[in-house]
Amino acid sequence: MKFLFAVVAVLVVVVLNDVNADTCPYGCKKYQRSNCRYYWYYSYGWRQYYYCSSYRSYTGTCYATCVHGGWSGYSDWETVEDCPVYCGGATALHVRSRSCTNPTPSALGRSCTGDSLEHQNRTCNHGSCSHVCPQDTDTYFEHPKDKKSFYHCGAHGSQAHLKVCENELVWNQAKKTCKEPDTEHPSCNHGEYIPHTEDCSKFFQCSNGQLHLHQCPGGLQFDTRHNLCNWPQMVNCIVDEE
């Protein structure tokens, strides 16, 4: 039975490749006889023959077996922005990706058409706020990762909304307000992007002297030239394995 499944799997792969296989044209050098003439001679009557004294080269069209690209399945949905609420339900931008690797185009085969990334607003953090938002009380609590952000529960207590301190202020949970950050001993420059030394898919972003770790979604890697997540073939990231 296992052997039968293996044979079927191989046949499926062969069929898929045959569907994407084709004959593709490409420019190639060809040769043609030139300086050709008809000559006459007498042998029991006049006869003629065709003679070419040289060859000339020209760019013609040749054909080769090629494989056209096919899309892989989509990755899982991943969020690319903070959910606007801590609880109570809202929507946030999510992204999922696919790659032209099923199969990968080869030998002049066509690449996939369409977008490799798909964006969609999807629901997030739809759990109840009863554990953090008491009824009839204005409640504030800090963001677990971002010092500039905090959450606010209104008196109705059904949602905890994400808020961000303006300018260069950071959230002070003790005083329940935004304040000037402590900049006496900053460990990095605010707004600076720093690549991860051991994982090409991760990077750090500096916010008010603190480094915050981020993960690129969908197999993407951090591009230090543009400070964004990009396809691995566009990044060429190499980490030190020592």
pLDDT tens string for the chain (242 positions)? Answer: 444 444 344 344 444 445 567 889 888 888 888 888 877 777 787 888 778 878 888 888 898 899 999 999 999 998 888 899 999 999 999 999 999 999 999 888 999 999 999 999 998 998 889 888 888 888 999 888 888 999 999 877 789 999 999 988 899 888 889 988 764 334 677 788 888 878 889 888 887 777 788 999 988 999 888 889 999 888 878 765 54
Neighbours of 163 (CB within 10 A): 16
Q: Cβ(236)–Cβ(224) under 8 Å?
A: no
Determine the Cα–Cα distance for residues 56 and 39; give it in Å rounded to an integer: 21
Strands (E), the chain: 21-42, 46-67, 78-79, 85-87, 90-97, 117-124, 139-142, 149-153, 160-164, 170-172, 177-179, 193-195, 202-207, 210-215, 221-223, 228-230
Tokens 């990334």 sit on residue: 117
Fold of 193-235: Antimicrobial Protein, Tachycitin; Chain A (2.170.140)
CA-atom Rg of the chain in angstroms? 33
Q: Cβ(146)–Cβ(134) under 8 Å?
A: no
Determine the Cα–Cα distance for residues 102 and 237; give it in Å rounded to an integer: 24
Res 187: pLDDT: 60
Res 84: pLDDT: 93
The b/e string for 121-132 (b: 16+ C-beta within 10 A; e otherwise) is: eeebbeeebeee
Strands (E), 43-146: 46-67, 78-79, 85-87, 90-97, 117-124, 139-142
Neighbours of 133 (CB within 10 A): 24
The b/e string for 85-106 (b: 16+ C-beta within 10 A; e otherwise) is: bbbbebebebbbbbbbeebebe
Res 156: pLDDT: 76
Q: Where in the chain is the domain with CATH 2.170.140.10?
A: 193-235
Determine the Cα–Cα distance for residues 107 and 26; give it in Å rounded to an integer: 10
